[in-house]
Chains A and B, each alone.
Chain A
């Protein structure tokens, strides 16, 4: 699961790496710094104790009875204040001495009536030993000790003393704790900052990928044909490769469509030949003639259907394509007047704004309007009317005829929604279903209704180019 997430997300991958290094470096830095500080404070602590011990050593003399005494009291006031935390003690450690009276023979005033119980090791002359001992009020003390021998005593014997300087360990542990607190707080702030920075970096770093996704979405929607925009140098080769693939793909598709179109057109001439040959057969082969005629009809509908679909699918829907309505309608009207010359249809085009434009390809508009007007002219009694107007972002073109119209059921059938090509009723034609398909490709629609002229009204809604 975790590995899958790592593989699955660049963001998690980048963040996991960064977070690991941030955590590791913060921990190592914290541990290292607090250790260094601990060592530093401990060495200072012991250095201070050693200073006290040195002073004690310097001031140690024996009185007339051979008892130890200080020539001059140590000046540090903390040594005089009871239980101040700073102590010294002098033990007599002669082998001959009575141990009860020897330990703590001379003590700092701060020790009050407490006697430090020191482990019974005897440092060699000049050596300084460090120990931890229990002090007054149950506190742990850090201490240093040293043995000093004095041989100029009044009794002429050499006496050995143990000199002890001690201090409450909290003088060492408290600064360490304070420092550690501050240190970890600072490191915590640093880590938070780094993590936020990493998040921002990943977000900014991956932003071009989001833009790639948006650009790809536009390609899918047909808004653009290539990935557009400037991308970082690292992504640009990918974009260029992808655009090459898109261009090749478009090229292959275009060629395939051209081939499909050529194939369909190429089939039409032999179909004509077959149909004519069948129709011109004599009485003897009427059955064969009828069979060939029917099959040619089916083949013709199939060819028409797939050709029209290929044409509709080939619509490039280039962004920014626009087609001014007037010339297209004028051209179609010229063609209709020739093609339907025999029917004496009055094709009336209501004047509309010359700048009225369709947001799409000219050929698609010609295909849609051509089929609609042609259909109207075929079924009209004597009159076909065309109105065009825009409303908001929509262009509405209404084509009325005064023919016999269509029932609601027939309307659905001629539009052919959900009807497969081979299920289409002969003679129903493909025109309107192609118009419907094309209109949908543009986000528009075709509706059929009753016309005030008495026949069918076709309402084509398409995106308009807003002025």
Chain B
């Protein structure tokens, strides 16, 4: 799961990045509207945290431009402006949720998880696939009640596959969604993560679809 933070206040931006990274998401940060728009337009993010008062291009414009070009990732607006006309304008510009400053980091994380989950069409915070259960609230995966010990990257791969259950996910898509932009990417490492996950998970949960990628589904 890869998140974009567009926030011009450097300390807050760093705090957000730290907290979201700690919740096992890959994080990219933009500090102005133009960069933010460009990154959101070119990289596949699973969710965006967008400030409204941004230099160079304001948040509402960034959001409208994304939606105009059919960029559908969930967007959480994080702003000091708390008037209802501003909230309605934000939602109508295409935001999926609206959080006003100052905020509790736990609430932001909860809303972020919910946004990602809803974008994948999941109603519950617990994603289930056969014996495997992934609780997005505490980043914990269990198999038949047994907690799995996963590294951060293993968790990201598993979480992405769980969010896209029964879909074929390409290797490059996995790379794009588990690494931040400035990370030294190597698609071969994905194979390593998949191999490790297969050892920890019940057999047959992750299929390799030849030439296309991977699919997580409960065995028939």
Contacts and interface: CB of A to CB of B under 8 A. Distances in A.
A276 B98 contact: no
A304 B102 CA distance: 10
Interface in B90-118: 90-92, 95-98, 100-105, 111, 114, 118
Interface string B69-94: 00000000000111111011011100
Contact of B98 (A296, A339, A367, A369): A339
Interface stretch (B12-20, B42-50, B55-63): B12-20
B191 interface: no
A47 interface: no
Interface stretch (A157-165, A240-248, A262-270, A390-398): A262-270
Contacts, number: 94
B97 A370 contact: no
A334 interface: yes
Interface size class of A (residues with CB under 8 A): 35 or more
Contacts of B18: 280
A363 B85 contact: yes
A338 B12 contact: no
Contact of A338 (B15, B82, B95, B104): B95
B84 A276 contact: no
A224 interface: no
Interface in A253-274: 264-266, 268-274
A342 to B, nearest CB: 5
B55 to A, nearest CB: 13
Contact of B105 (A279, A304, A331, A332): A279
Interface residues of B, number: 32
B188 interface: no
A269 B114 contact: no
Interface string A211-244: 0000000000000000000000000000000000
Contacts of B98: 335, 338-339
Contacts of A335: 84, 87-88, 90-92, 98
Contacts of B85: 362-363, 366-367
B191 to A, nearest CB: 35
Contacts of B11: 273, 277
B33 to A, nearest CB: 16
A265 B81 contact: yes
A338 B91 contact: yes
B135 interface: no
Contacts of B104: 275, 279
A342 B112 CA distance: 11
A341 interface: yes
Interface of A: 264-266, 268-277, 279-280, 296, 300, 304, 307, 311, 331-332, 334-335, 338-339, 341-342, 362-363, 366-367, 369-371, 374
Interface of B: 9, 11-12, 15-16, 18-19, 53, 80-85, 87-88, 90-92, 95-98, 100-105, 111, 114, 118
